[in-house]
A and B are shown apart, each in its own frame.
Chain A
Amino acid sequence: MRYITIFLTICTYLSLTSCGSWFDTHPYDINIHGETDINTHNIAAIEKENANKETFRVAFISDTHLWHSDTRDEVANINNQPNIDFVIHLGDLTDTGTTKEFEWSRDILQQLNCPYVALIGNHDFLGTGDQTYNVMYGQMNFSFIAGRVKFICLNTNATEYDYLAAIPNFDFLEEEMNKNSELFDRTVLIMHAPPYSDQFNNNVCKAFRRYLDFLPGLMCCVYGHCHNHEINEFYNDGLLFYGIDNAEHRNYRIFTFTPNGYEEELVNY
């Protein structure tokens, strides 16, 4: 009897460690199979390939949640577009933040022919989702430079922290104003939840706008979360906020950055 118990315990342990994908520990177990630290790898690739480009094209997608079929079509459509240099996903990679959902959306996005980075959306915080994002993608606030344009990706999901954390992080914004200032002249600010939305810390909406004045050559802001493709001027001062639609509505935006500015088009698929 005792030997049977010991034997079976060992068997269970072995089966558990050797073929982990057969045995599900828990939806929120953060037992990630496959690639991790994606933003770090892809930022290195983006910065290398676009360092000397004057004109480059970026596809912005967002809120793919569990609309996998639509996201696959979106990826295929981007792959058929000429000269897309990289893709930015604006958050809500998952619907309930489970480890498997993160793997599912990652496996679809990895079908892209160009490198991509992803921001964290409010749904990606559910359960252990925020920790999974940290392992799979990296820091929640990050930036990179392509063709002398700095892309600042900012975590604005303040509600997820009950407004107790520094969200949006003004210190990070301040650092980014000056960091590597010799390598960029213009800035694009990217976030999941826009000012005045249910996730933003709306007490600091106007203070936030004041900080943006110090970002060198700020061209525009891009956001997701709202599941629509509106172009807003939240502060009525000429600064444009481009909304990126969710995957279910089957449209996304392509920005072409040129030395003189940018062109933007809405792509339906």
Chain B
Amino acid sequence: MKKSLLIISIILIYATRMIAADSVYVSQTKESRYDRRIHRYRKHWAALIPMQFVIQNAGNMGAISAGIGWNYGKRKQWETDLLFGYIPKHQSSRGKLTTTLKENYIPWSINLANIFPNATDKITQQMSIEPLTASIYLNTVYGHEFWKSQPGRYPDKYYEFMSTKFRLNIALGQRVTFQIPKSKRWRSKSISLFYEISTCDLYIRAKFQDGSIPLKDMLGMSIGIKFHTL
């Protein structure tokens, strides 16, 4: 009798320990306000992880620019790029750095597989074309010779029409996007090749002042590559 009581009590102690070790405390199952804040905090900062990487030449923002970007919108038709460019020395005293904030709108993306449903080749399966990209971008150039607005040494409204530091540019272009098959992905899920025809505020202003300025002198070409990571 005594023996069986001892065994039962030992089993009970074990069982209790096991249950206790395996049970979840109520306080842990309920998300605390702290947890919710941290989740939000992580989610918001996660939205800032760059979704794309861009390299492009020219476009009035340096000989070559590189940067990061984000896309958003229902069809990811909006993109914001932050680019850093380098202007070579050319005939001046030194090279210069620029920063550009660029907003792109891509109204259409046409998947070739939808147009040619019977095609079986890889290119058609993986390629899409974006027949129009419209961009507006603000470029700033670093250097003592450039000012944001006219310095105090000038009389009022002397060069009121301009800033030598900031340039507003507009561009129209086109691009093609290749989906990378999952088995061959390295970091990017797709790659876009694009070109743009752009001009800046000073050239548009010049064209308004004198219509005889040829369009080819106002417009500049730019080509680039964009890696879509997320």
Report the Cα distance A238→B28, complex, angstroms.
99
Residues in chain A near residue B167, CB distance under 8 A: 26-27
Q: Is A31 located at the chain interface by the 8 A CB criterion?
A: yes
Which of A27, A32, A69 interacts with B210 by CB under 8 Å? Answer: A69
Q: Contacting B153 at CB < 8 Å: which of A69, A72, A98, A163? A: A163
How many of chain B's residues have a CB under 8 angstroms from any CB in A? Answer: 55
In the complex, B83 has a CB within 8 A of chain A: no
At the interface with chain B, which of A7-15, A178-186, A261-269? A7-15
Q: Is the CB of A8 within 8 A of B63?
A: no
The residue from B60, B98, B158, B211 contacting A198, defined by CB atoms under 8 A apart: B158
Kindly identify which residue among A9, A36, A162 contacts B151, using a CB–CB cutoff of 8 Å. Answer: A162
Q: What residues of chain A lie closer than 8 Å to B206, measured between beta carbons?
A: 66, 95-96, 101
Instruction: Check if A104 is an interface residue, CB within 8 A of chain B.
Output: yes
Which listed residue, B141, B145, B221, touches A23 by the CB 8 Å rule?
B221
Closest to A123 in B: B159
Flag whether B134 is at the interface (Cβ < 8 A).
Answer: no
Q: A28-B141, A30-B90 are in contact. Are A9 and B55 (CB under 8 A)?
A: yes
Q: Is B225 an interface residue (CB 8 A)?
A: yes
The answer to whether B223 touches A29, judged by C-beta atoms less than 8 angstroms apart, is no
Q: Is the interface of A mostly helix, strand, loop or mixed?
A: loop
- A16 x B58 contact (CB < 8 A): yes
Question: How distant is B111 from chain A, measured CB to nearest CB, in Å?
Answer: 21
Contacts of B210 in A (CB 8 A): 66-69
Which of these, A8, A15, A28, A100, contacts B225 with CB under 8 Å?
A8
CB distance from B191 to the nearest CB of A (A): 7
B193 CB → nearest A CB, Å? 8
CB proximity to B under 8 Å, residues A85-107: 95-98, 100-101, 104
Q: Which residues of B contact A101 (CB under 8 A)?
A: 206
Closest B residue, CB atoms, query A30: B92
Residue of B nearest to A103 (CB): B217
Question: How far is the CB of B209 from the nearest CB of chain A, in Å?
Answer: 4
Residue of A nearest to B61 (CB): A26
Q: Which residues of A contact B91 (CB under 8 A)?
A: 30-32, 36, 131-132, 135
Q: Chain B's nearest CB lies how many Å from the CB of A191? A: 19
Contact of B10 with A by CB under 8 A: no
Residues 1 to 42 of chain A near chain B (Cβ within 8 Å): 1-2, 4-5, 8-9, 11-13, 15-16, 22-32, 36
Query: Residues on B close to A: CB < 8 A?
Result: 55-64, 87-88, 90-93, 96, 98, 139, 141, 145-146, 151, 153-155, 158-159, 162, 164, 167, 180, 186-188, 191, 193, 198, 200, 202-203, 205-206, 209-213, 217, 220-225
Can you show 14 pairs from A to B with CB atoms below 8 A apart? Answer: A24-B60, A25-B90, A26-B87, A28-B145, A28-B146, A66-B209, A67-B209, A69-B210, A95-B209, A104-B213, A126-B159, A127-B164, A135-B91, A159-B154
* 8 pairs of A and B residues whose beta carbons are closest in the complex: A24-B220, A23-B58, A30-B92, A66-B209, A31-B90, A127-B164, A1-B186, A68-B210
